[in-house]
Amino acid sequence: MSIIHEPALFDAAAGRLKGEGVSRSTRTIRELPGVFAAEEERASLDPTLPVYEVEMHDRCGEVEGGLYFGVSHVHPGKVGNEFFMTKGHFHQKRDRGEYYWGIEGNGLLLLMDEARHSWAERVFPGSLHYIAGHVAHRLINTGDVKMIVGACWPSDAGHDYEAILNEGFSVRVVEQDGSPVLLEARS
């Protein structure tokens, strides 16, 4: 029997994953058509402007009973008066839940059930969020620094981005008088 060194590391101070099995992706403003209400303004921004990055550690592949571990980095910024956010998604296997926890920065976790009822939870360093199955979720950075959020979810959950791209969330988070507020989305 021997003690081995795990091939991947989570650098808690930087909120970064490194090592074997870690993948990274960046979503730029160009890659987010239809996400923000002010589409014309979004299209006029520098297309290479990063909105968010996702790091993921995959040790098992998409198998029942497996887990993925990830970190999202949502940059500060706005399109019009709407804060930078992730695309948001349901899980393809709708009954799969997920955990998020705040590492750095401040923002909101926007949630919406399949009946289109929406609510938000404040995200801050140390906050813990359980996302039940059948609930869409999106991270929104309402602060002035990068918001970093950890995640753990079933590796067979999958992501259904199309449902959100086609229907959107039932509310939008915008800045009004210096504070984030939830407004009913217009169809």
Rounded Cα–Cα distance for residues 187 and 102 (Å): 31
Q: Judge whether residue 187 has pLDDT over 70.
A: no
Return the pLDDT at 134. 98
Mean pLDDT of the chain: 95
Residues in the chain: 187
Enter the tokens of residue 93: 């296997």
Return the pLDDT at 4. 78
pLDDT digits (tens, 9 = 90+) for 142-154: 999 999 999 999 9
Q: Which residues of 141-174 are buried (b: 16+ CB within 10 A; e: fewer)?
A: bbbeebbbbbbebbbbbeeeeeebeeebbbbbbb
Domains identified in the chain and CATH numbers: 21-184 (2.60.120.10)
Identify the DSSP state of 20: T
Rounded Cα–Cα distance for residues 97 and 91 (Å): 8
Find all residues with CB under 8 Å of 2, minimum gap 6, and list them.
Answer: none
Evaluate whether 161 touches 89 at the Cβ level (below 8 Å): yes
Return the pLDDT at 141. 98
Evaluate whether 169 touches 138 at the Cβ level (below 8 Å): yes
Return the pLDDT at 61. 82
pLDDT digits (tens, 9 = 90+) for 57-102: 998 888 898 999 999 999 999 999 999 999 999 999 999 999 999 9
Rounded Cα–Cα distance for residues 41 and 59 (Å): 40
Closest to 127 (Cα-Cα) out of 149, 154, 159, 142:
149
pLDDT digits (tens, 9 = 90+) for 15-32: 999 999 999 999 999 999
